[in-house]
Structure 1
């Protein structure tokens, strides 16, 4: 086998790819980060940084740098179909992905990684082991050899398919997001508003306050695809219509759109959730971040878990074991996360039946113990499934 040009090629320069690149470059590895978009590219996302993202950023040594640019927020405001709300405290912030991703990538470069703008075409293989990548740079096809390849390309399945790692082509959920500049709304929308109503069932709407008088507004629809004859098909969902219905049903959203100015266009994106839809590794290759399904299905939050899975992959590689040992260590780390993802799958009951949100808000306003459990869900110290199981719903009437 020809000598490797790099210790690792990381395909994808989002939070997952940049997190793994920074950890490995800091350890002295020769790291090449590849993305088909230039530094500072946009990404459709809610931009919310919840506690798991804060923890991952702290591990990377970047929490203070991110928080200097982010809009700090004190609570998630859960809003029910009848308009009632409950504020759940947590370590929270909002930073648009264009800024977050550039900061993370430049931090990886500062640690010694090299960035190359190119499109991933396929892995290079020798006797069944991945030994590098084939890239398209402009009109030229080039090869970059490496001891390891990490796929961190997000929810779009093309790279997974090319690498032979895709087990489900359709996404778990779909979302539509826009930015609105509305200085008049600063101080009126101050929390991470997550809104459940019939207008967005099965899903939710959101408004997150961002820096400089901007707001991130959007809708997410869970269970957006179904299997027919073994093939995935998109259900009859028009995201723009759902967005308009959300705005009409939620007065703060209507005020935001009326008083503000839409910056750019509304953009849609798929999500891959619950650690499903892809193989995690094969000889010489690992899949990290949302490509591995690192987004929570109930909340649609994925930035923190994307970084967490990537850091787990980097740690496995740095353990200096054989190929099989490194992959086994990484897959064991993901398996350890599965119970949390299953809990959030069960919590999808709220997205399917928004009246459950009304019930939780009603009881939460009366019960400090329940508010504490809801805060624990946000901090990942409590099981969200225990809030929305049939037994838990029955217990709400007794607390």
Structure 2
């Protein structure tokens, strides 16, 4: 087992078996899986351990399953704020509480725990270190050029795994970016409001005309804090692979959400905003990037591992990271590993497509009113909505013509 490098280390090793770039959920999950199997892993990130990330911080059932598989669920849940329901709120104020195994933990702490889990398994961690370009022998990636401080260092590896998130710079450098613009954008802030603990207990997801074509949220976090934000889907329209940004102002949408939703207004009125509101892009639906090239795999949000309908991506990022690690561990030549990994992602793609179809709720929030109205009267429909949360029901069927017609028969 390799001795982990410290954050202050400035010189990487010249070689490792697997170089993982990005210490978020996907990269850390892959690094831990590989290191537990005895692979020499170097995990690098351009920010120190426990870097911040704009995110709703919600851990839904797929994240719980991934954390359990990694052996880190207990450590995460010891710090997370648990919740038993997602509260869906429609434009007219109707609401329904959908049960689920849920929790919230700010990404700064979640990512710290995941990165530490990789190191505890034997992975070496180095930060800050930025991916500049792949090292090539012909078309084969044989490592990466890293920038550390003002110096550049070459690290050779049998495999490079890019888990660099939604910003496409690393994908572009690796020649794998198919869409430069994101699928959506989000704005998030943390508010400390001890007086609202117990009054806001559910993970609130709010659809209204004020945030169309997106949604707002309030999630209760640990230590008397709340995660509040807005997400806008389809914020860019593709134009010859590059894209053109639609006219929107996230801060104005956030202000409209606060004005429109009474608990959000109370939170901002009674609480203390910690730091600034922060925005970030989203890459969704397993699209926008090639998943591999010889010697290199792409996982996590860089591969588009976020669901477009819900904006949830933590669990799926970990899942793709583990798929990449398992493909490498299964052995075989380069083509066999890449085929195995891409087959795993392809098996997930239909589910992402279904969530993309369900995304029409964000564009037409009256659909949320209709679903909530019927779910209040139909235990069967409420179970189906819970199944969407647990990934046992088809989310696209809820808003298809056939699905809408069934609402009045249940």
TM-score range, shorter chain: over 0.9
Deviation at 1:116, TM superposition (A): 1.1
SS of corresponding position for 1:188: coil
Number of aligned positions between the proteins: 397
Deviation at 1:229, TM superposition (A): 5.5
Determine which of 51, 55, 79 is the counterpart of 2:89.
79
Q: Which runs of 5+ in 1 are unaligned?
A: none
Deviation at 1:4, TM superposition (A): 7.2
Separation in structure 2 between the aligned mates of residue 343 and residue 230 of structure 1, nearest angstrom: 23
Separation in structure 1 between the aligned mates of residue 409 and residue 30 of structure 2, nearest angstrom: 47
1:69 matches 2:79: yes
Separation in structure 2 between the aligned mates of residue 204 and residue 6 of structure 1, nearest angstrom: 43
Partner in structure 1 of residue 162 of structure 2: 151
1:359 matches 2:364: no
Partner in structure 1 of residue 334 of structure 2: 323
**1:41-56 equivalence runs, <5 A:** 41-56=51-66
1:31 matches 2:21: no
Partner in structure 2 of residue 18 of structure 1: 28
Deviation at 1:393, TM superposition (A): 1.3
Deviation at 1:386, TM superposition (A): 0.8
Partner in structure 2 of residue 212 of structure 1: 223
SS of corresponding position for 2:78: helix
Determine which of 318, 323, 330 is the counterpart of 1:307.
318
1:94 matches 2:104: yes
Answer whether contact 1:222 1:297 (CA < 8 A) is retained.
Answer: yes
Separation in structure 2 between the aligned mates of residue 356 and residue 309 of structure 1, nearest angstrom: 31
1:290 matches 2:313: no
Partner in structure 2 of residue 166 of structure 1: 177
Answer whether contact 2:284 2:306 (CA < 8 A) is retained.
Answer: yes
Deviation at 1:320, TM superposition (A): 1.2
Give structure 1 regions of 4+ aligned residues with deviation exceeding 4 angstroms: none
Q: Which runs of 5+ in 2 are unaligned?
A: 1-12
Separation in structure 1 between the aligned mates of residue 241 and residue 283 of structure 2, nearest angstrom: 18
Partner in structure 2 of residue 368 of structure 1: 379
1:265 matches 2:284: no
Q: Deviations over 1:222-267 (max 9, x none)?
A: 0000134553011001000000000000000000000000000000
Answer whether contact 2:14 2:154 (CA < 8 A) is retained.
Answer: no
1:121 matches 2:132: yes
Separation in structure 1 between the aligned mates of residue 102 and residue 242 of structure 2, nearest angstrom: 38
SS of corresponding position for 1:33: strand
1:388 matches 2:399: yes
- Aligned CA distance change for structure 1 residues 333 and 218 (closer, same or farther; 3 Å): same
Answer whether contact 1:4 1:147 (CA < 8 A) is retained.
Answer: no
SS of corresponding position for 2:238: strand
Deviation at 1:398, TM superposition (A): 2.8
Answer whether contact 2:180 2:241 (CA < 8 A) is retained.
Answer: no
Separation in structure 1 between the aligned mates of residue 119 and residue 409 of structure 2, nearest angstrom: 55
Partner in structure 1 of residue 237 of structure 2: 226
Separation in structure 2 between the aligned mates of residue 283 and residue 349 of structure 1, nearest angstrom: 37
- Aligned CA distance change for structure 1 residues 84 and 278 (closer, same or farther; 3 Å): same
Answer whether contact 1:9 1:146 (CA < 8 A) is retained.
Answer: yes
TM-score calculated relative to the size of structure 1? 0.98
Answer whether contact 2:56 2:229 (CA < 8 A) is retained.
Answer: yes
Determine which of 180, 183, 191 is the counterpart of 1:180.
191
Q: Deviations over 1:26-60 (max 9, x none)?
A: 00011001111011211100000000000000000
1:191 matches 2:194: no
Deviation at 1:349, TM superposition (A): 1.3
Separation in structure 2 between the aligned mates of residue 250 and residue 367 of structure 1, nearest angstrom: 26
Over aligned residues, Cα RMSD in angstroms?
Answer: 1.0
Deviation at 1:5, TM superposition (A): 1.3
Separation in structure 2 between the aligned mates of residue 278 and residue 296 of structure 1, nearest angstrom: 15
Separation in structure 1 between the aligned mates of residue 239 and residue 48 of structure 2, nearest angstrom: 38
Determine which of 401, 405, 408 is the counterpart of 1:397.
408
More deviation in 15-24 or 223-232? 223-232
Deviation at 1:291, TM superposition (A): 0.2
Separation in structure 2 between the aligned mates of residue 226 and residue 89 of structure 1, nearest angstrom: 35
More deviation in 85-94 or 386-395? 386-395
Partner in structure 1 of residue 9 of structure 2: none
